[in-house]
Structure formats: C-alpha cells, structure tokens
Amino acid sequence: MGDGERPDIVYVVRPGNQNEQLRYSLRSLANLPHRRVWIAGYCPTWVGPDVGRIPVAQSGTKYQNSTANLRAAAEHPEVAEEFLYLNDDFFTMQPVDRMPVLHRGPVGRVEAYYASRANGKYLRGLRETRALLAGLGHPDPLSYELHVPMTMTKAGLLETLDIGARLDVLHKRTLYGALHQLGGEEITDPKILTRGRGFPREATFLSTMPDTFAHGQVGAHIRAQFPDCGPYETGGRH
C-alpha cells in the first residue's frame, strides 16, 4: 500500500500535557498503515514536529469539545479525505494491513447494557441518536461506539455532524456508520476497565481507562510492547 492509498490519522485530544496514553497510542501506530498524523484539540508539548496540529478552543463539555475537534479536522484543507478517527486511549497491538470496519452490535442491545449500569448523559445521547436515526429511516441501527480506530471521509463526517448538530451528546460514530451503511464485523469493545490480568493479551486492539493504563496489568502490557520513543514524540526513551 503506497502513501497515497493510506488514510491520515486524526486524534481528538483533551487538554493536558501529561498524557501517557496518547504517547503509547502514537507508538502503536507502527502497527497501523497511515500517511500523516494530526491532533485536533490540545496538542501536548512533547509531541514531535511530524504531527500536524489543529488547535481548537476546549470551552464546552467533553462531548461538545470532541465534536468541535472532529469538525475542525474535517474542515482542514491538508487532512486527507479519508482518515482514521482515534481517541488518545486506543492502542493497535498487532500489525494490520488495513483498518477493518468494526461495530458493537445493535444499538438496542448496547442501550440495554448501559441502562443497567447508569442513566447519565452518555445514555441520553445514545437514545437521542437512536431516535434521530429512526426518524431518518434507520429503525434498528448498529452501534459503532467502539474504542478502536474508525475510517471516515471528511465529506461524510461533515454531513453527519450537520445532521446531528442539535444533539449535545451526539454518538458520532454510530450516526456516521448508520447513515453510510458501513456494516462490518461485530466485536466486543476492547476497553479494559479493571486492573487485573483478565484481558486478551493477543488482541489486535486494546483501550484503557487512565487508572487501568497507569496501574493495571493491561497498562504494563502495553508499555512493555512499545518501550522505545517513537517518531511522533520528542526526547528519549520513556
């Protein structure tokens, strides 16, 4: 695959210079074919000069900020039309030739899971996104709210964000996936929520909480796999 066929990487990043999850996520890009890397939102000072910066004021809620960051990337003239959307806690643990299309199963089933745990803003946003899709002729959509990279196009994303603009907790991945009828393969979300050893060590993708990255077995596993300073950070070994 030549550089012209590879997507860009777009990270949506919260404020904060101490972000070791982002550091190791950037190192793990060695396993994910790509062209250029961009950070939209806040870019830590230790990030190297080869990473493109798209600064965005982080003045809203975390949901509003992430949407604003993603829109800024889609509107940036130098970002490739096709890109992979990542958060700073995504790790590609095994080499892949091309990012597959992955989903979490029906939105209704994901909604039932979260309804059994909490009833906060995230669940409200899920329900509002599902209702929006039902009104657009997608009564039983798939959920794409996975902690893995997701391929998007700038034009498709801008259309998606415009359609979902009235929702303050928009499930952007799910709306994009349903509107563009992506299909794909169902997987279990690779987010690891506990510190113990019960995680798939041979997984292609992993994701962590700040606590499980800093203090859990999964964090130690990720740091051991990517011990050396990568091309997207300044300084020596960490």
The pLDDT tens digits of the residues spanning 60-111 come to 999 999 999 999 999 999 999 999 999 999 999 999 999 999 999 999 999 9
Residue 53, token pair as written in the block: 């910066």
Summarize the confidence of residues 4-25 as an average pLDDT. Answer: 95
- pLDDT reading at 8 higher than 70: yes
Beta strands in the chain (DSSP E): 8-13, 37-41, 52-55, 82-87, 90-92, 102-103, 105-106, 142-143, 150-153, 185-186, 191-192, 205-208
pLDDT band at 115 (very low <50, low <70, confident <90, very high): very high
Which is it for strands 150-153 and 82-87: parallel, antiparallel or unpaired? antiparallel
In tens, the pLDDT along 142-193 reads 999 999 999 999 999 999 999 999 999 999 999 999 999 999 999 999 999 9
- pLDDT reading at 58 higher than 80: yes
Q: What is the pLDDT of residue 25?
A: 98
DSSP-assigned states of every residue in 173-220: HHHHHHHTT---EE----EE-SSSS-S-TT-SEEEE-HHHHHHSHHHH
- pLDDT reading at 237 higher than 50: no
Share of the chain above pLDDT 90, in %: 95
Share of the chain above pLDDT 70, in %: 97
Q: What is the pLDDT of residue 2?
A: 56
* Backbone dihedral angles phi then psi of residue 224, each to the nearest 5 degrees: -70, -30
- Coil, strand or helix: which one is 48? coil
Query: Could you tell me the domains of the chain?
Result: 3-190 (3.90.550)
User: pTM above 0.85?
Assistant: yes
- pLDDT reading at 12 higher than 70: yes
Q: What is the pLDDT of residue 95?
A: 98
pLDDT band at 117 (very low <50, low <70, confident <90, very high): confident
Q: Which amino acid is at 166?
A: R
